[in-house]
Structure formats: structure tokens, C-alpha cells
Structure 1
Amino acid sequence: MYKKILLPTDGSTYADQEVERVEKLIADDGEIIILSVAGKLTSSAFQPRRKVRKVNEILKKEAQQAVDNMAAKFDDSLNVTKMVLTGFPAETIKKVSEEEGVDLIVISASGKSGIHRFVIGSVAEKVLKNSDIDVLLVHND
């Protein structure tokens, strides 16, 4: 059993499979950290600051919704922490896993990327290759 599991989500439809696995692996007194990483656009000569700010707000709200939706799938008796951060997903997942001292990262093999089911999603692949922490890659049908 794991004491602390990081569960990154992008809001894709595979949450049920991830939740099922996490519930089987978490210790009775363990903590589940649900993380969604919102991308962040920067303004330029071609992108007015006001429009970029609106898009960033939308991205942050979508990330919060993804975390809330995932958290709602867990039993209330479990210790669930919700996090929404801004940045590059794979790098942020690695950083949070190290800072929080997690024992396991549970991540889907594919999500919003639209990559064929036999190919690991780019974020999952980067996490798998760069993490010093155990990673459970959940294959989705």
C-alpha cells in the first residue's frame, strides 16, 4: 500500500479507471493528491494582453473543474487533496511529486492528445521517462 499517491488529470474520460486503481493502492491513512496543470499563454504583439488573460482564466477554470470532477469520484472517507497549478504538465507533475514526497504517480496512457490507443500520451511518456518515483501507467481502452 502507498502512503501518498499523485493523480494528475487533464479532465479526460479515463478517470474511472484511474480512481479504481488508486483506491486499491492507497493505504488506509494515505493521501491522494489530485493535480491538474493549466497551460499558460503569454501575450505578444499578435496576442492582446486582455485576450490572453481571458484564455488563461478559462484554462485555469477547466483545470479546477477537472480536479473537482476527479475528487468527486472518490469515497468521502479518503484523504484527498486538490491542486491546480499553471505550467508545463510533465515538468509540473515531476516537481509536485518530488516536493510532496509521493510514493507513486498514477497517470493515464492517453488523454486529450488524441494519439492512437497504442501510443503513450506525450505527458505520460515524459513523466514515465523523467520521474525518479514509481509510475503506474493506466492503459485505457
Structure 2
Amino acid sequence: MYNKILLPTDGSGYAEEEVDRVTKLIADDGEIIVLSVAGKITSGAFQGRTKVKKINARMKKEAEEAVAKMEAKFEDGLNVKTMVRTGFPAETINKVVEEEGVDLIVISASGKSGLQKLVIGSVAEKVLKTADIDVLLIHNK
């Protein structure tokens, strides 16, 4: 059993498998952290500040909705904490692992099809390569 599990989500529709696995692996008094990482763009020659602010606000809102949706899938009585951060997903996931003292990352593989199905999602792959703790990769069908 794990005392602290990090469950990153991007809001894609694969929550059922992840929630099932996390529920089986968490210690009775453990904590589940549901994390979504919102991207952030900066203004440049082709995007004005107002447009960039709107895009960043939309990405943050989508991340907040993703963690709320995932949190709602857990049974009452489990210790579930939600978190939204801004940054690059894999790097931010590893930073949260360190800050929160996480024991296990449960992350979903890409839900791509066709030729892309042969490759793990880029975020999951980078987390697998860079994490200093156990990573459980959930295969999505």
C-alpha cells in the first residue's frame, strides 16, 4: 500500500481505470493528490496580451474542471486533494512529487489510435524516464 499517490489528469476520458487502481493501492489513511497542469503561453509578435490572457485563463479553467471531474469519481471517505499548477506537465509532476512526498505516480498512457498507438503519450513517457519514484502506467484501450 502507498501513503501518498499522485494522479495527474488532463481531463481525457480514462479516469475509471485510474480511479480503480488508485483506490486499490492507497493505504487506509493515505492521501490521493489529483493534479492537472495548465499550460501557459506568453505574448509574442502574433498574439496580443489580451488574447494570451484569455487563452491562459481558459487553460487554467480546463485544468480546474479536470481535477474536479476526477475528484468526483472517488468514493466518499477517501482523502483526496486537488491541485492545479501551471507549467510543463512532466516537470511539474516531478516537482509536485518532491514537494508533497509522493510514493507513487499513477498516469495514463495516451489514448491515441493507429500508428500513434505504438508510442506512449509524451507526458507519460517523460514522467517514466525522469521520475525518482514508482510509476504505474495505465494502458488505455
Measured against the shorter chain, the TM-score band is over 0.9
Q: Structure 1 residue 125 and structure 2 residue 125: aligned?
A: yes
Match of 2:110 in 1: 110
Secondary structure of the residue aligned to 1:107 is strand
Cα distance change of structure 1 residues 118 and 13 upon mapping to structure 2, 3 Å threshold = same
Match of 1:56 in 2: 56
Q: Do the aligned partners of 1:10 and 1:111 also contact (CA within 8 Å) in 2? A: no
Match of 2:71 in 1: 71
Aligned amino acid, residue 121 of structure 2: G
Q: Do the aligned partners of 2:2 and 2:26 also contact (CA within 8 Å) in 1? A: yes
Aligned amino acid, residue 80 of structure 1: V
Q: For residues 67 and 140 of structure 1, what CA distance do their matches in structure 2 show?
A: 19
Secondary structure of the residue aligned to 1:91 is helix
Secondary structure of the residue aligned to 1:102 is coil
Q: For residues 85 and 113 of structure 1, what CA distance do their matches in structure 2 show?
A: 28
Displacement after TM superposition at 1:113 (Å): 9.9
Q: For residues 21 and 87 of structure 1, what CA distance do their matches in structure 2 show?
A: 27
Q: Do the aligned partners of 2:108 and 2:139 also contact (CA within 8 Å) in 1? A: yes
Alignment of 1:39-54 (within 5 A): 39-54=39-54
Deviation beyond 4 Å, 4+ runs, structure 1? 111-115
Aligned positions, number: 141
Match of 1:91 in 2: 91
Displacement after TM superposition at 1:119 (Å): 1.7
User: Aligned Cα RMSD in Å?
Assistant: 1.6
Q: Do the aligned partners of 2:111 and 2:117 also contact (CA within 8 Å) in 1? A: no
Please list the CA deviations of residues 79-113 of structure 1 after superposition, one character each: whole Å capped at 9, or x if unmatched. Answer: 00000000000000000011100000000011479
Structure 2-normalised TM-score? 0.96
Match of 1:20 in 2: 20
Match of 1:100 in 2: 100
Unaligned runs of 5+ residues in structure 1 are none
Match of 1:134 in 2: 134
Secondary structure of the residue aligned to 2:42 is coil
